[in-house]
Amino acid sequence: MRNLLDFDFDSAHIWHPYTSMTRSLPVFGVHSAKGCELELVDGRKLVDGTSSWWACVHGYAHPEILTAMQKQLHQLSHVMFGGITHEPAIELCKKLIAMTCEPLTKVFLCDSGSISVEVAIKMALQYWQGQSLQGKSWQDQSSQEQIAHQDLPLKQRILTVKKGYHGDTFAAMSVCDPEGGMHTMFGDAVTKQSFVPAPQTAFGEALQADDLTAMRDILSINHHEIAAVIVEPIMQGAGGMRFYSADYLVGLRALCDEYNVLLILDEIATGFGRTGKLFAYEHANITPDILCLGKALTGGYISLAATLCTDNVAQGISQSPAGVFMHGPTFMGNPLACAAACASVDLINRNEWQAQVAAIEQQMRLELKDAINLPSVKDVRVLGAVGVLEMHEPVNTAELQQQFVDLGVWVRPFANLIYIMPPYVISPAQLSQLTRAMKLVATSIKASSACAEPKLISHG
């Protein structure tokens, strides 16, 4: 048996996501990982049902990604991106422009998914700062025109839907669910944005007549102050694992066009095949003005995200008072991360994921459908490589986590959800182990006549 980790030090000094330093939750020490398995320090192996928060779609220790990173590590592990460029960044951006929808031709490489959303929001705000009375840049306007421009209503508010999640940084928090999410935790410190009810029409169904009514109403009244609408297309992730109709996105795109508002799509969780399409917006055959990517971009091997925008957005930003886009993190375009992303995207571009995700979806539908008969289960839903058991009540994460580990799987419940988003390379036997464990754990939960809602939503 390997030497155990210093769990006491970890508990006393190291913060884990969404935990207390005075009432710490138990953690499990991981020694290594390969394929779809995590090996604990005590030698136990767990089938990973979460892809390490939805990122490791190719599994762990993939030889092609490791080789690309090792080569890049010895050549150029990091260099500032200000005034400098390099081959991994150029090649990655070429690949991203080629694989996303045609209007998206400009790429900003950033540190993480949350920062990708920050960048998208800043792009939208700065774009509208650059719109002038006569289409001239700020610098080319006369002083009188600049004064007149300053008196115009400024589109500096973001509109979004409830039950959304877009990240943990401040601008991202401002567009998370305002009732059950982190938006409420920081009060007036977070910018107040505009919200409408979450989409109600389920995926695969024709849009309910009134599902876009609130969105249309607020845009018709306040479009002069709304810079952009941001949504997670098709699947609302950490806000509840909700799958909604593609028709909603079709209608939303039309409303944004009608009222001259930018559309930001947050595909950090859904991008690169998770919902059965390469990008979730393809279900609706629409294109965004700004697109956020992350998580599976590098296959989960190192942190990197990207924000893509259209030529129109880029030109508008260039016409703003600053004349440049005002963002530039230290690790922007990190060569090592870009090399990992290039290898990950190359694997995606082989299109093996399509058959893999289709097989995962079919197997999960078959093996999870009878879970609806369990007293504790409110709903069962599957889309692409996402399988969800929604409970009637919030679950005890620590208690259920231990049950899953005892069953040889890594599943991380949150709120009232038991879900899996496994790596695409998972075997049928491993997937069956996950679905069996989900049903066994759900069976152990005592049903209640009360359907309490969780006070706060986090993704575990």
Active site residues per annotation: 18, 165, 266, 295
Which tokens go with 242? 């909700």
Q: Chain-centre distance of CA 9, in angstroms?
A: 32
Which tokens go with 344? 């990950």
Residue whose structure tokens are 């049902």: 49
What DSSP element (H or E) covers 54?
Answer: helix 51-54
Which tokens go with 342? 């290039």
| C-alpha distances out from residue 377 to 233, 388, 392, 402, 403, Å | 26, 10, 6, 20, 17
DSSP codes joined into one string, 296-327: GGGTTSS--EEEEEEHHHHHHHHTSTTSS---
The whole-angstrom separation of Cα 383 and Cα 361 is: 6
Annotated binding site: 53, 113-114, 165, 266, 295, 328-330, 412
| C-alpha distances out from residue 311 to 102, 178, 291, Å | 11, 32, 13
List residues bridging with 262 in a β-sheet.
228
Annotated binding site for pyridoxal 5'-phosphate: 113-114, 266, 329-330
The whole-angstrom separation of Cα 98 and Cα 114 is: 24
User: Do residues 390 and 377 make contact, with C-beta atoms less than 8 angstroms apart?
Assistant: yes
User: Do residues 318 and 130 make contact, with C-beta atoms less than 8 angstroms apart?
Assistant: yes
* Ordered alpha helix ranges (H), 285-422: 311-318, 335-349, 352-368, 397-406
User: Do residues 138 and 318 make contact, with C-beta atoms less than 8 angstroms apart?
Assistant: no
The whole-angstrom separation of Cα 370 and Cα 72 is: 48
Helix (H, G, I), strand (E, B) or coil at 211: coil
Q: Chain-centre distance of CA 450, in angstroms?
A: 31
Residues in Cβ contact with 119 at an 8 Å cutoff, skipping those fewer than 6 apart? 108, 110, 292, 307, 327
Which tokens go with 320? 């703003």
**Residue 209 CB burial class (10 angstroms; 0-12, 13-18, ≥19):** exposed
Annotated binding site for substrate: 53, 165, 295, 328, 412
Four-point Cα dihedral 120, 125, 127, 130, nearest 10: -160
List residues bridging with 305 in a β-sheet.
110
Q: Which is nearest to 423 in space by CA: 37, 67, 165, 66?
A: 37
